Amino acid sequence: MIMSKKRMSGGVKAIIVICCIVVVLVGVSIPLKMPGASAADQLKPFMKQPIAHRGYFDNDSPAPENSLAAFQRAIDHGYAIELDTQLTADGTVIVLHDKSLLRSSGVDRNVDDMTDAELAECRLFGSTEKVPTFKEALDLIDGQVPLLVEIKGEAGDDVAAISEATAKLLDEYDGIYVVQSFNPFALQWFMNNRPDIPRGLLAKDFIADGEGQSFVNRIALTGMFTNVVARPNFISYELKSDGQPTFEAMQAFTDLPCFAWTLKSQEELDQAKAAGFEGFIFDSFEAKL
């Protein structure tokens, strides 16, 4: 039986559509295959001990998050330390997670709008601890435990300036450290200027939790298409987003080490281990590997 031209045309169209879908899927997967080289050997120290998120802290204690007391407490327990860096109005690198001091100190101002003198008057979560400079934190930690440095940087921030100022202090630091960031341009800066420092992409399902990002940014960040810019050597992924298809694709396409964040219980840490994560960023409990 001879197929009609109309039916033949429809079949050709279907084949073309299928081919286009395959091409698109292959094209979309390419960025997932473009991370940096594996830095597994340099990351091994971070896999041998839990990583205390913002130090081993309790915000209702004398050792609140990202304080020198919390860092000392982590050292005393043998934990690696994760902390956050950003810049004051004077260009000093300080350690604080939020851009605003409202949550931590009751001051409704942003860090980059405050001078060093103004910031020195602030205290963390009702304690006697002040916002430490990054230099003070490095002097305290002094290579005693591995250090995971998160470079903060929202849209519109000068992430190159934050990255450079952080890197200059790390240049003088005699200890084991790596950097990570949600911002791919911070990682790009380190790739171009400090290529020997392992860099990690912080990621999660931004489609479900956009954090104020535009729809396009949420797609790009969730899909890790920013790997073309960031070229990470490891991935720090939110545990509750584990199972998201793009992350599973990344695990399938690469041999990059993956760290899980932020673990809130020993049960979650054990869950992360069972899921194949190799590094464990935790807070609010006594973590054990």
**Mean per-residue pLDDT over the chain, rounded:** 90
Per-residue pLDDT averaged across 223-233, rounded? 90
- Classified by CATH at the fold level, domain 39-282 comes out as TIM Barrel (3.20.20)
Strand, helix or coil for residue 236: strand
Higher local confidence (pLDDT), 238 or 22: 238
pLDDT of 29 over the 80 cut: no
Supply the pTM of this predicted model. 0.89
Question: Each residue of 68-100: pLDDT tens digit?
Answer: 999 999 999 999 999 999 999 999 999 999 999
Q: Which of 3-12, 119-128, 171-180, 190-199 has the lowest mean pLDDT?
A: 3-12
pLDDT of 11 over the 70 cut: no
CA dihedral 89, 92, 97, 100 (to 10 degrees): -20
pLDDT of 23 over the 50 cut: no
Per-residue pLDDT averaged across 30-34, rounded? 65
Residue 64 tokens, joined: 């609140």
Question: Each residue of 139-182: pLDDT tens digit?
Answer: 999 999 999 999 998 878 899 999 999 999 999 999 999 999 99
pLDDT of 5 over the 50 cut: no
pLDDT of 241 over the 70 cut: yes
Ramachandran bin of 276, using left for φ above 0, alpha for ψ from -120 to 50, beta for the remaining angles: left
Of 213, 277, 284, 211, the closest CA to residue 247 belongs to: 277
First to last CA, the chain: 69
Q: What residue spans define the domains of the chain?
A: 39-282
